Amino acid sequence: MDHCLSWRDGFRKIALSSRWIEKRRRDQFYKLAKEKGYRSRASFKLLQVNRSYRFIKHGLNVVDLGAAPGGWLQIAREAVGESGFVLGVDKQEIKPLSWRNVVTIVADIEDPALPNLILEKMPDRVDVVLSDVSPNLTGSWEIDHARQVYLANQSLEFARHVLREGGAFFAKAFHGPDLQDFRSNLKRSFQTVRIVKPPASRSDSSEIYFLGLNYIGERQLSLSSEEQSERAISQDDPATGL
């Protein structure tokens, strides 16, 4: 018996099995989204993280950046109920949802006038800012990572203008060397920062999510020795990203 061939066949079967399991998992969330009337399988990413951290609650005011097609708007509305308010922002028009307290506008997060525009439309100060904003992917990992982190930072800057004290921020980013600085930016504004990858996110995807809890405004932070070591490692090995 050719042991080399046997090993290769076994490895190939494992690889095929892993891909099959991953495809089934993706199909599962796609089918669930259809069954529940969600506009996107990405709805489950927000749903899963909110079940763990409960940062979107009944009666809160939520802004969703990059909200098209509206899957996160649906999850946010389910969480805030009748007494809350959800506003979606995207560069493309979003098909209206049936709830009276869910409003959408066409706007660009890079517009410096956006925070004031949003505050004029909100019934009160914003409790939660969500950002699922993504760049048009080029296929170049370095470019796509840099652009995604740039948009995440733009979303964070927006959040700093509209969030109430104690508010929360949840945003998507891609793995890579720029994430260390983004996390440091978050720590200057939030008492607690978590990095999460919900089960609905594909295991082979580079996307991860940052959750900032208890907004405290701007503050200056000095890096701990542990953080300095982490930064040195990430700079030496860009693949770590963190």
| CA-to-CA dists, residue 52 to 38, 199, 223, angstroms | 20, 12, 28
Task: Supply φ then ψ for residue 143, to 5 degrees.
Answer: -70, -45
Cα distance between residue 46 and residue 33, in whole Å: 13
| CA-to-CA dists, residue 170 to 45, 49, 129, 190, angstroms | 11, 10, 6, 11
* 172 is annotated as an active-site residue: yes
Query: Tokens at residue 221, please?
Result: 């932070």
In the chain, count H helices and then E strands: 7, 7
Cα distance between residue 217 and residue 188, in whole Å: 7
Catalytic residue among 36, 95, 121, 172: 172
Catalytic residues: 172
